[in-house]
Chain A
Amino acid sequence: MQETVQAATSAQTLTVALIGNPNTGKSTLFNSLCGGKARVGNFPGVTVEKKVGKYRFGDRNITLIDLPGTYSLSPRSDDEMVSVDVLLGRKKEVTAPDAVVCIVDASNLERNLYLFSQIRDLNLPTVLVLNMWDVANSRGVQIDVEQLSERLGVPVVTTSAHRREGIEGVTAAVLQAVENPGTKAVRLFPAEFYDEAQKLDEWLVSNGEPATHLFLRERMLLDIRGASEDAASQADQSKLKAYLEEARGRLAASGHRIPAIETKLRYDWIRQQLDGVFTRSETDHRLSASDRIDKILTHKVTGMIVFALIMLLIFQAIYTWSGPFMEMVEGLQNGANEIVGGMMGPGTLRSLLVDGIIAGVGSVIIFLPQIVMLFAFISILEDCGYMARAAFLMDKLMTKVGLSGKSFLPLMSSFACAIPGVMATRVIENRRDRMVTMLIAPLMSCSARLPVYMLMIYTFIPASLLFGFLSLRGTVLFSMYAIGAVLAIPIAWLFKKTLFKGETPPFVMELPPYKWPSPKIVFDRVYDRSKAFVVRAGTLIFAVTVVVWALGYFPGDHTTQHQLAQQIETLQASPEENAEEIDKLSAEYDDVSGALIRESYLGRMGKAIEPVVKPLGWDWRIGIGAVASFPAREVIISTMGTIFSLGGEVDEEDPSLKDALSNATWPDGRPLFTVPVALSIMVFFALCAQCGATLMVIRRETNSWRWPIFTFVYMTGLAYIAALLTYQIGTSLMG
């Protein structure tokens, strides 16, 4: 029998777990305690973010573990199980906590104490933090804190974390709780229930599962088909399920129906604890400021208009503000090329550095500004509370295809990146709806597609105005983002009608009060997500770039090419006198380079696939780009950068890919890129499933290879057909 969790840390260092309902200001409290110094990782095998911060308090080192916001400790999934495992010290990656800080919204104690009452069953030193104290006071909520602390048997602290008020008191209270562990957990349940928990222990021991924490056994009894059953890994799962059924049957026979008994008893207990301690002087009939905003933002007409305007604004802003940043990155690229050119003469190594690495990685990093901006907008909308309203608005639309508003958030996140989007589908309780949402999430235009759109738009779409006020380029960008989302509607409907038949799921979601977004939280999120993008650009893209460069460089003989380059560079020391000579040699150089790339391994592969991509208006170089970008969409940019740079189509004066594409031609001299070609490339990339990481995440989430393969096949087919239509119709329209 192991009734208490062993404290694993010395007196000098304390490990504290922080837990609370969603929207109680938990992140704000975490940041004020740790001063923003936190290590963010992931628990292996699940999608729960592991956030650990450290700070000093007097002579103590405190390690703070931030657990995901939750309404209860009834683990229904492996994700929710993580919090229980951490609290019970069953996770190897984190030390068992010495204390728990449970943060609640002071004006909503009746509901928030539900989680607290479950935490008390863990028998750990616990502190209750009544956050948003200032808001509660202004709402006329009065709480006798001392009396409440006495009744609950734990220290109670009041804070207003967003104003940094009362933060010091939290750690002081933790120390107090650790030093005087105080009362044992309240035994809310009837004696029969504890007898069953005891019997379950005996049953588990006899089935080879020794020493299960009482809390886990209680959860096994209370949560039908819950995740806590998996904790008994030694016992036979089907036997355990059968035994739990029997035990629940026995309890029901004695008048204690599971799971209704839990909510009833806990809420009864909360009512007793709060009786005479918690008063609300005013009823809740007054319209709050949030309600007044909601009158407009959740209205079916004005709400939709505002929603559409916000989306349009985001895309226009991303487009217009990122120009100067892009020029800056281009400048850096030029500088790097000059440094390399100054250090060594033409040769294989210089070609690798200039044509391979700088051209490849540079052409991806150039899009970092837009990606940062997109992440910033999404984080701001999440943090100020608008995202929940967007889900509310979208519920009407989602029910038409048989999904609920809950599917909107994962889809919206997928506009930043499909990986967190697919992971976010875990908030959807119903398996069928989760599957459908997961399969359409990659259709949303993620940030990796943005570089492709930007390059094509920037190079081929004229900077004119539509109707005199909308930028044509911004509108094309918006259309590219819309195409996947629009097509997702019939596809989702089709999936719900065929593969995943089922009723429309219910939709109950909290709408947090609006607040000004916290710069710190937004900055952290943007930083983490952008860092992930840069790391990808730095590793995966770098590797692919080098491979593509090698395939495009070998097996040709580059002696003549390097000699020509050397001659040109010598003559360029005095360009005026040698202008003619330079022009002649440059043309010769371009011919030689073009021939070399056509003969290379890459050229041969490209020629082989050209018939397939020709109907889309593509030549072999674009085809190779599309094939090479299978691991990640943004690779197409670096691949094209490398191919066109090796082919000598990149002007010495201006090494940007943009100019190379504008100058590219078919062998008969026709320009390779026309507006329909640019559009067909964009449409293809808007709809294809060129992202190995997303497919791997779908595999992990569905636990089978079937669905990632299915996703890849249906999306690639869709992309090909749509690109074909775009090019053919576009060409016939343009004459």
Chain B
Amino acid sequence: MSDVLQMIPMDMLQKNESGRIVEIVGPHDWKHRLQELGLRDGAIVRVVKPGTPAIIAIDGHRFSFRSDPNTVVLVELLPA
């Protein structure tokens, strides 16, 4: 691991902040689905529009994102 700044749940990112996905914690089938969609470990996520649902950007693609209560996407906050 690099010098991790801080690990926070993805939904705590502010508008236009980016984070690198460290781990997805939750039921394995839903985790698998998220990873296939591109929310993989190491991917960089940027919050385009915070809220429920949020709009996030991964690799130039936009996703609507509202997770289920049992799943947390942990990210390390990247410096702007």
Interface residues of A (CB under 8 A from B): 71-72, 74, 76, 107-108, 110-111, 114, 139, 224-225, 259-260, 262-264, 267, 271, 284-285, 288, 290-291, 294, 298, 388, 391-392, 395-396, 399, 404-405, 429, 503-513
Q: Are B36 and A263 in contact (CB under 8 A)?
A: yes
Enumerate 18 A-B pairs (CB-CB under 8 Å) in ascending A order: A71-B38, A72-B36, A107-B60, A110-B38, A263-B32, A263-B35, A263-B40, A271-B42, A285-B46, A291-B62, A395-B66, A503-B69, A506-B68, A507-B66, A508-B37, A509-B64, A510-B61, A511-B64
With A508-B66, A511-B64 as given contacts, are A225 and B29 in contact (CB-CB < 8 Å)?
yes
Question: Which residues of B are found within 8 Å of A225, using beta-carbon distances?
Answer: 29
Per-residue contact bits, chain B 57-75, to A (CB 8 Å; 1 contact, 0 not): 1111111111111010000
Extra inter-chain contacts (19) besides given A111-B61, A294-B48, A388-B64, CB under 8 Å: A71-B36, A71-B37, A71-B38, A108-B60, A139-B60, A259-B31, A259-B32, A267-B35, A267-B41, A284-B60, A294-B49, A391-B64, A396-B52, A399-B52, A405-B66, A429-B33, A508-B33, A508-B39, A510-B62
Q: Are A74 and B59 in contact (CB under 8 A)?
A: no
CB < 8 Å neighbour of A392 from B38, B60, B61, B64: B64
How many inter-chain contacts with C-beta < 8 Å in the A-B complex?
A: 115
Q: Does B13 contact A (CB under 8 A)?
A: no
Q: Are A108 and B35 in contact (CB under 8 A)?
A: no
Expressed in whole angstroms, the Cα–Cα distance for A506 and B73 within the complex equals 13
Q: Tell me, rounded to whole Å, the shortest Cβ–Cβ distance linking A424 to chain B.
A: 17
Q: Is the interface of B mostly helix, strand, loop or mixed?
A: mixed
Q: Are A267 and B40 in contact (CB under 8 A)?
A: yes
Q: Closest A-chain residue to B29, C-beta based? A: A224
Question: Which residues of B are found within 8 Å of A404, using beta-carbon distances?
Answer: 66
Q: Are A508 and B28 in contact (CB under 8 A)?
A: no
Q: Tell me, rounded to whole Å, the shortest Cβ–Cβ distance linking A21 to chain B.
A: 9
Question: Which residues of A are found within 8 Å of B7, using beta-carbon distances?
Answer: none
Q: Are A294 and B68 in contact (CB under 8 A)?
A: no
With A263-B35, A264-B41 as given contacts, are A505 and B68 in contact (CB-CB < 8 Å)?
yes
Chain B interface size, under 10 / 10 to 19 / 20 to 34 / 35 or more: 35 or more
Expressed in whole angstroms, the Cα–Cα distance for A76 and B49 within the complex equals 31
Q: Are B64 and A284 in contact (CB under 8 A)?
A: no
CB < 8 Å neighbour of A508 from B29, B32, B52, B64: B64
Q: Are B58 and A111 in contact (CB under 8 A)?
A: yes
Question: Which residues of A are found within 8 Å of B48, using beta-carbon distances?
Answer: 291, 294
Question: Which residues of B are found within 8 Å of A267, using beta-carbon distances?
Answer: 35, 40-42
Q: Are A74 and B32 in contact (CB under 8 A)?
A: yes
Q: Closest B-chain residue to A222, C-beta based? A: B32
Expressed in whole angstroms, the Cα–Cα distance for A107 and B61 within the complex equals 9
Q: Tell me, rounded to whole Å, the shortest Cβ–Cβ distance linking B71 to chain A.
A: 7
Q: Are A111 and B46 in contact (CB under 8 A)?
A: no
Residue of A72, A294, A511 ringed by the most chain B CB atoms within 10 A: A511
Q: Tell me, rounded to whole Å, the shortest Cβ–Cβ distance linking A664 to chain B.
A: 51
Expressed in whole angstroms, the Cα–Cα distance for A669 and B71 within the complex equals 69
Q: Tell me, rounded to whole Å, the shortest Cβ–Cβ distance linking A173 to chain B.
A: 25
CB < 8 Å neighbour of A111 from B53, B59, B65: B59
CB < 8 Å neighbour of B64 from A114, A395, A505: A395
With A392-B64, A506-B30, A508-B66 as given contacts, are A110 and B49 in contact (CB-CB < 8 Å)?
no
| Interface hits, B9-31 → A, CB 8 Å | 16, 28-31
Question: Which residues of B are found within 8 Å of A114, using beta-carbon distances?
Answer: 36, 38
Question: Which residues of B are found within 8 Å of A107, using beta-carbon distances?
Answer: 59-60
Q: Are B67 and A506 in contact (CB under 8 A)?
A: yes
Q: Closest A-chain residue to B28, C-beta based? A: A259
Residue of A114, A285, A392, A508 ringed by the most chain B CB atoms within 10 A: A508
Q: Are B28 and A395 in contact (CB under 8 A)?
A: no
Q: Are A110 and B59 in contact (CB under 8 A)?
A: yes
Q: Closest B-chain residue to A295, C-beta based? A: B49
Q: Are B59 and A108 in contact (CB under 8 A)?
A: yes
Q: Tell me, rounded to whole Å, the shortest Cβ–Cβ distance linking A294 to chain B.
A: 7
Q: Are A510 and B37 in contact (CB under 8 A)?
A: yes
Q: Does B8 contact A (CB under 8 A)?
A: no
Question: Which residues of A are found within 8 Å of B39, using beta-carbon distances?
Answer: 508
Q: Are B66 and A284 in contact (CB under 8 A)?
A: no
Q: Tell me, rounded to whole Å, the shortest Cβ–Cβ distance linking A265 to chain B.
A: 11
Expressed in whole angstroms, the Cα–Cα distance for A291 and B61 within the complex equals 11
Question: Which residues of A are found within 8 Å of B67, using beta-carbon distances?
Answer: 506, 508
Q: Tell me, rounded to whole Å, the shortest Cβ–Cβ distance linking B46 to chain A.
A: 6
Q: Tell me, rounded to whole Å, the shortest Cβ–Cβ distance linking A59 to chain B.
A: 40
Q: Closest B-chain residue to A430, C-beta based? A: B68
Expressed in whole angstroms, the Cα–Cα distance for A509 and B71 within the complex equals 16
With A108-B60, A405-B64 as given contacts, are A507 and B38 in contact (CB-CB < 8 Å)?
no
Expressed in whole angstroms, the Cα–Cα distance for A262 and B35 within the complex equals 10
Expressed in whole angstroms, the Cα–Cα distance for A365 and B13 within the complex equals 55
Q: Tell me, rounded to whole Å, the shortest Cβ–Cβ distance linking A393 to chain B.
A: 10
